Structure 1
C-alpha cells in the first residue's frame, strides 16, 4: 500500500514538472525556476523512497498475524503432497520458480551468470518455518566430529543430502498440478537470500522412521563443511 501511495505522488510530481516545463518553454520570462527546483527535489525524494520500500518489501510483507496465517495456509498443502508422494512411492520432484522472473520459464539462458530463474529440486520435508528441498546427494567424511567434503586418512564416509530451507514467507504461491512441461509441483518463490530462495543450506541424513515415515536429520551446515574443508586443504 505504501509503495502505491508513493508511486502516485511520484507520478503526480512528474506531471507537475512536465506542466511547469511546458509553461516555461512557452513563457521563458516567467518565474518558473523555483517551482521547478522544488518539485524536482520532491520527485527525486519520492523516487528514492519508493526504491527503498521495494528493496525492503520482504521485511515488511507480513504483520505477525498475517505471517502465522500464511504459514498455516501453506503448511498443510505441502505436508499433504509430501505424504502422498511417500505413501504412493512417487517422485519427489518440484520446480522452484523465481517470482520476479516468472516469464523466463520454460526457457533458459546459459550465457547469464547467477542462479537460474527456475530449476528442479526434490521436495522432501517441512520444518517449523517452511519447506526442505534436496539439491544434491553427496559424500561427507567425518573425522574427529568434524565434517569434510574431502576424504582424510582416518575419515569415515557417510551419504548425505544437501538440503535448502525455504521459508513459507518467501513462497508466493504453489501449483501442485504442474503444467504441460513438468507435471509436478511448481513453487513460486522470492529469491530473498543473496539472490537465492534458501535461508539456509544444510547437510542431512535420511532416517527411516518406519511405516512410510522419513525424517531428514540435520548434520551440519553447508558453510561449516566448506570452512572446515578449506582449513585442511
Structure 2
C-alpha cells in the first residue's frame, strides 16, 4: 500500500510539474534554426534599407511597435495592463540594425559610475551630473509577424507587429544601456551594461528612474 501511494504521488507530482512547465511556456514559440534563419533573411534587408535610406535623406526612422496578442487595442488603448507592464503599442525610433534584428531607442539619460564597470542612475532631483547613455531595445527579426510600411491615418510610420514573448512579455531579446559613437554621420552604439543590472544597483541608492 505504501509503495502504491509512493508511486502514485511521484506520478502526480511529475504530471503537475509538467503541466506548470507547459503553462509557463504557453506564449513561447519554439522555432527551429531553419525557421529563425528564414525570418532573419526575410526582414533583414527591409529594415536595413529603411534605416539607411531614411537616415541618408534625414527622414524620420520612427516606427509603431504593436503586440499581435493585443492587436485590436490599437489605436485607443496605449496603456499597460498593469503597473510595470508594457503597452500594446508604442512609437519608437529605429537607431540601428544588428545581426539578428533592429534596435530602438527607449530613452536617453545619464548614469553615474560606482566602480569599475558598475553604474547607477543619476540623482537628477539633486541636479547630479552623469554620463550620457542610450537605453536600447533589441528586437529580433524572428519576433516580427508583419510590417505595414505605409502606416495608417493615425500614424504614417511603419507598423511593426510583433510577438511580445520575450522576458517580461516584451518584444526585446535584451535591453542595454549604450554609448553612442558616429561614423559617416550615422550613429552606432556600444553596449555597456544591461538595464536590469543598473536598476538593481540603483535601488541601493533609492533611485528608480533613468533620466
Structure 2-normalised TM-score? 0.76
User: For residue 93 of structure 1, what is the aligned residue in structure 2?
Assistant: 62
- Tell me, in whole angstroms, the C-alpha distance in 1 between the residues paired with 2:119 and 2:37: 35
1:58-207 correspondence runs (5 A): 58-60=28-30, 62-108=31-77, 110=79, 112-113=81-82, 114-145=85-116, 146-151=118-123, 157-193=130-166, 194-207=168-181
Match of 1:192, SS?
coil
Match of 1:132, SS?
strand
More relative contact order in 1 or in 2 (CA 8 Å, sep 6+)? 2
Whether the 8 Å contact between 1:142 and 1:156 is mirrored in structure 2 is no
- Tell me, in whole angstroms, the C-alpha distance in 2 between the residues paired with 1:166 and 1:150: 27
- Shift in Å, 1:78: 0.5
- Greater per-residue helix proportion: 1
Match of 2:169, SS?
coil
User: For residue 5 of structure 1, what is the aligned residue in structure 2?
Assistant: none
- Tell me, in whole angstroms, the C-alpha distance in 2 between the residues paired with 1:128 and 1:111: 30
Structure 1-normalised TM-score? 0.69
RMSD: 2.7
Give unpaired runs (5+ residues) of structure 1: 1-48
- Shift in Å, 1:59: 3.3
Residue by residue, what CA displacement relative to the aligned partner does 1:20-41 show, whole Å, maximum 9, x if unpaired?
xxxxxxxxxxxxxxxxxxxxxx
- Greater per-residue strand proportion: 2
Give unpaired runs (5+ residues) of structure 2: 1-18, 207-211
2:182 is equivalent to residue 208 of structure 1: yes
2:197 is equivalent to residue 227 of structure 1: no
